[in-house]
Amino acid sequence: MAFETQWREIQARLTRNWSEARLQVTVPDPSQLEQAAALLGPAGPARSGRVLRFYMSRSGTGPSPEAVRRLLRRLDKARIYGRVELLSAGETAPAAEVARGSVRAEWDAVVEALPEDWSDMYAELELRSTDHHDPAALLLSPLNPTRTPEKAGFRFRVARGSGYGGTAQMARRCFERLDEAGIPGKLNVLWTICDVDNVDTQGPVWYVGGRAV
């Protein structure tokens, strides 16, 4: 299995609040070990036999998850074979108590939990009352929201870089406006796509009930 694929599986198992982790790369073929160490050089790996160990971090004290993904992709491109394992992971305390009821804070938590290379999202904001439909529709208008069938709320798309949907920054500002207006809600990520580069298109197309969204 490719190193990058192994890394994605490890990342999917990490908890939402993880802050730093220790990884181990094992290269069975000794003739490939020196090249592997060189390709992983930016992570500062420590070598022990046929094993390379290094740290990564979300806080900037080590390579980021996205940087680790790119380094492991280097090994795949060089046709180096082996395995990557998670040795340990540390967590930060959640900040939910500080921002309880804040849609913007909920958005920040959702984005923090997504893979580093997410590119497109289809999400839903569930409102607590239909009384908030009209003012929420106005505040969310930059995201081009559509009514959620059979319950109070809206669905919308977000494109992190380029493509169809509001930007992540615009989405965050819209949710800040909901907070300022005292409109509570619950965010649900329905679908996400990672590592997508748009070539002469507006990005991926999702279908719900036979309709493109």
Of 51-60, 81-90, 163-172, highest mean pLDDT? 81-90
Tokens for 39, please give them.
């390709």
Cα 170 from Cα 144, distance rounded (Å):
11
Domains, the chain, ranges and CATH?
3-91 (3.30.70), 103-196 (3.30.70)
Does residue 41 have a pLDDT over 80?
yes
Predicted structure pTM score: 0.49
Q: What integer pLDDT is reported at residue 125 of this predicted model?
A: 93
Range 18-35 average pLDDT: 91
Q: Which residues contact 120 (CB under 8 A, 6 or more apart)?
A: 157, 158, 159, 160, 163, 164, 165, 192, 193, 196, 203, 204
CA angle 120, 112, 53 (to 5 degrees): 105
Among 189, 183, 212, 6, which residue's Cα sits nearest to residue 103? Answer: 183
Distance CA 73, CA 70 (A): 5
Total Cβ atoms within 10 A of residue 131: 11
* 8 A C-beta contact, residue 147 and residue 83: no
Give tens-digit pLDDT for 165-181: 788 899 999 999 999 88
Confidence of residue 69 (pLDDT cuts 50, 70, 90): very high
Q: Please give the backbone phi and psi of residue 113, each rounded to the nearest 5 degrees, phi first.
A: -85, -15
For the stretch 111-147, pLDDT in tens is: 887 777 788 888 999 988 888 889 999 999 999 999 9
Residue 158 · residue 107 · CB < 8 Å: no
Structural tokens at position 64: 């980021």
